[in-house]
Structure 1
Amino acid sequence: MAPIHDVPVFVATHPRSCSTAFERVFMTRKKDLECVHEPFGDAFYYGPERLSSRYEGDNEKAAQGREASGFSASTYKSVLDDILNSGKEGRRIFIKDMASYLVPPSDHPACDNAVPAPSVSQASNGSNGHAVSAPKNPTVLPLSTLKKFQFAFLIRNPRKAIPSYYRCCVPPLNDMTGFKYFMPNEAGYRELRVLFEYLIKEKVIKHPSLETNGVANGESNGVRKPYEVCVIDADDLLDNPKEVIKRFCEMTGIEFYEGMLEWGANEGCESFDKWKGFHEDAIGSSGLRPRTTRKVRTKEEERQEWVEKYGEEAAGVIERTADENMEDYEYLRQFKITV
């Protein structure tokens, strides 16, 4: 069994969670970390095993979108192979990706009955990690594959993340992102909670409030013990970046130093090119510093801002989507780390 320092870190999140700013911190660790940026989106949106309906169909427009991405041949197995082969010269793999890329979305036929992606199923002799007494795996990856990673979670209040995502799906920004319309089921909170709860049930991760006989991280008789739950709320990250990053490093076995929080603007961001328009703020940043102001607005004030930016109908869509995801956000938030 590999020591913790050799286990890939997988930061699972949802869109517009400030996750790319978080990721940039670890991109400064070029000597000991190999950062992999949102890899499963290739298979989720564009490949033959795609789960998303955004580029689904045989019509010319959908097919052109898949081909233009450069990932129309990507499968879940090819993505996995690329990830697990990416560690070079002893560097630990660090992945940041959307949990929703691993869990069938609400408009997919397999939403409530996930099965392994065909390429992964063939490679693992058809096993999705199911056992007689085990909960059904809600993802398209076998449990044995999920156990290869040390998971952490990053969340953000839906009333902040949803309007930010909506902005990426409407003019003028959608000319750059290529996402020509907003899909509420891409919010990602349901899938993040589904993954979290499954990993808890399978004892891949643990939290004292959910287990009476918890065990510490590490190994026993060659079997990996559950990792301590690590959930980061974006507000805490923005208010106290040093303390949050330091605590995250302690929990994942990554050495911390303050220089991680500074970098050169536009430096080393080539991997962000495949998702143009979504990461411009993070690309242009030069460090992660405590925010000096934090707007506290009422729900009425937030909605009025959405009306002014996008119109009454769009504001209604944003608010409904945020409200629909609030319960899952609050559930995950109760496990957030404190600093």
Structure 2
Amino acid sequence: MSTKPIFVAAHPRACSTAFERVFMTQHDTIHCVHEPFGDAFYYGPERLSSRFENDKQTRLDSGFSESTYASVLEGIEREVSQGKRVFIKDIDYYLFAPDRKPTSIAPSLLSATNGQTLNKNHQNGNSSKGQDASHCSAEPGNPTVMPRAIQERFHFAFLIRDPHYSVPSYYRCTIPPLLEITKFYFDPLESGYDELRRHFNYLRDTGLVGPQVATRSDIDNTKIDSDPNIAKPTGHEICVVDADDLLDSPAAMIEAFCKSVGLQYDPGMLRWDREVDHRVANDKFEKWRGFHEDALHSDGLQRRSHKRAQKSEEEFDAEWRAKYGEEAAATIRRTVDRNMADYLYLKKFSMRV
């Protein structure tokens, strides 16, 4: 059974925070790490995002202006050394240069390509700063900043949601009243599906996940065109959770997920109504205030009373116009359409219960 740190790769607004809260209830055996790589992606000297490029004060105020990809990983390794199973939930595009720009291995992680320890010099902010100089070496076939040697340390799983729901949910966080808390403008490039698909394919093609697909005997996925010189397959199942399926059958989906990644399932996972549960969640989610309000004010993952009603594209457009206005609805529509093919591709591998 796998004991590696679990890395749940997601895109924004995939119900991932509620999913994460399930495992936060297991304080004695699981340590949750909430979106750690955003520290390096947005704020540190190796930052890839231009969101705060001209806002040094915000980067300083974040407390992460010296965070590199190496220092984030070292923090995770410290948690692993404490003996609990580590559960990481993160946004996958934090490992990519935006807008399909070439992505190379982060400078602070370059030594890992030779099997060495992490480069401590970069932990102190001595790497090149800013997007243009932050990466200087590619690893053939690897679309991320993280060397394969490091990715082998994780047990990857994936969380997805239909863009018709995730995209407007993200947009809502970037307008009043939540804008006053999040301070984020809407950026269609942060939808995250393209990066998630590319990372999924890399992990699958190189044997870090698969060929078996969790809960799916209907998929003939036994042949992987992997490079025999890279490494042997890990044997980890392909584990993809769709948020709709999760909300329709939370207990069954969580139990299937636990089985796939090597966790002990406990029905009590789906309730977090104790004071300690809320205290832990408030502490974990503080750095991304405004994005987790629904999950923070919930007390459990409950099955919805009825399946989501099917809507036509025209009905979606009308709903978005009524809520956000013509211009915003057009932006949401373009963003949804741009990401549907990637979502539907990943959906083919999703668990069924």
TM superposition score normalised by structure 2: 0.85
User: Out of 325, 329, 338, which is 1:315 matched to?
Assistant: 329
Counterpart of 2:62 in structure 1 is 69
How far has the Cα of 1:72 moved from its partner?
0.8
How far has the Cα of 1:213 moved from its partner?
4.5
Counterparts of 1:157-168 in structure 2, within 5 Å, are: 157-168=162-173
How far has the Cα of 1:87 moved from its partner?
2.9
User: Out of 43, 49, 53, which is 2:40 matched to?
Assistant: 43
User: Out of 207, 212, 216, which is 2:222 matched to?
Assistant: 212
How far has the Cα of 1:68 moved from its partner?
1.7
* 8 A Cα contact 2:36 2:72, kept in partner: yes
User: Out of 244, 254, 268, which is 1:245 matched to?
Assistant: 254
Counterparts of 1:75-90 in structure 2, within 5 Å, are: 75-87=68-80, 89-90=82-83
Tell me which amino acid in the other structure corresponds to 2:280.
G
Counterparts of 1:275-294 in structure 2, within 5 Å, are: 275-293=288-306, 294=308
**Number of residue pairs the alignment of both structures matches:** 316
How far has the Cα of 1:88 moved from its partner?
5.6
Counterpart of 2:103 in structure 1 is 114
User: Out of 10, 13, 18, which is 1:21 matched to?
Assistant: 18
Counterparts of 1:235-274 in structure 2, within 5 Å, are: 235-264=244-273, 266-269=278-281, 270-274=283-287
* 8 A Cα contact 1:129 1:144, kept in partner: no
Kindly provide the CA deviation profile for residues 140-171 of structure 1, in whole angstroms up to 9, marking residues without a partner as x: 01000011000000000000000000111122
Aligned partners of 2:111 and 2:59: how far apart in 1? Answer: 24
Q: 1:48 to 1:231 in 2, by over 3 A?
A: same
* 8 A Cα contact 2:104 2:138, kept in partner: no
Counterpart of 2:124 in structure 1 is none
Tell me which amino acid in the other structure corresponds to 1:235.
D
Structure 1 SS opposite 2:98: coil
Q: 1:213 to 1:186 in 2, by over 3 A?
A: closer
Aligned partners of 2:301 and 2:279: how far apart in 1? Answer: 14
Counterpart of 1:201 in structure 2 is 205
Q: Structure 2: 5+ residue runs without aligned partners?
A: 117-136, 213-218, 225-230
Kindly provide the CA deviation profile for residues 256-288 of structure 1, in whole angstroms up to 9, marking residues without a partner as x: 010111112734111100000000111111111
Aligned partners of 2:207 and 2:291: how far apart in 1? Answer: 34
* 8 A Cα contact 1:129 1:142, kept in partner: no
Structure 1 stretch 224-233 or stretch 241-250: which is displaced more? 224-233
**Is 2:85 aligned against 1:92?**
yes
Aligned partners of 2:60 and 2:24: how far apart in 1? Answer: 29
Counterpart of 2:319 in structure 1 is 305
Counterpart of 1:101 in structure 2 is 94
* 8 A Cα contact 2:115 2:149, kept in partner: no
How far has the Cα of 1:223 moved from its partner?
6.1
Counterpart of 1:219 in structure 2 is none
Aligned partners of 2:309 and 2:238: how far apart in 1? Answer: 29
Counterpart of 1:225 in structure 2 is 234
Counterpart of 1:325 in structure 2 is 339
Structure 2 SS opposite 1:302: helix
Aligned partners of 2:143 and 2:105: how far apart in 1? Answer: 9
Tell me which amino acid in the other structure corresponds to 2:77.
L
User: Out of 137, 152, 163, which is 2:142 matched to?
Assistant: 137
% same residue: 51
Aligned partners of 2:106 and 2:115: how far apart in 1? Answer: 9
Counterpart of 1:169 in structure 2 is 174
How far has the Cα of 1:243 moved from its partner?
0.2
Aligned partners of 1:192 and 1:258: how far apart in 2? Answer: 29
Structure 2 SS opposite 1:163: helix
Tell me which amino acid in the other structure corresponds to 1:238.
L
How far has the Cα of 1:123 moved from its partner?
5.2
* 8 A Cα contact 1:129 1:143, kept in partner: no
Counterpart of 1:218 in structure 2 is none
Kindly provide the CA deviation profile for residues 74-124 of structure 1, in whole angstroms up to 9, marking residues without a partner as x: 000000000111136420110000110012110xxxx34321111111454
Aligned partners of 2:58 and 2:220: how far apart in 1? Answer: 44
* 8 A Cα contact 1:114 1:139, kept in partner: yes
Q: Structure 1: 5+ residue runs without aligned partners?
A: 215-221
Counterpart of 1:336 in structure 2 is 350
Aligned partners of 2:222 and 2:11: how far apart in 1? Answer: 30
Aligned partners of 1:70 and 1:26: how far apart in 2? Answer: 26
Tell me which amino acid in the other structure corresponds to 2:104.
V
Tell me which amino acid in the other structure corresponds to 1:95.
I
Q: 1:201 to 1:112 in 2, by over 3 A?
A: farther
Q: 1:47 to 1:149 in 2, by over 3 A?
A: same
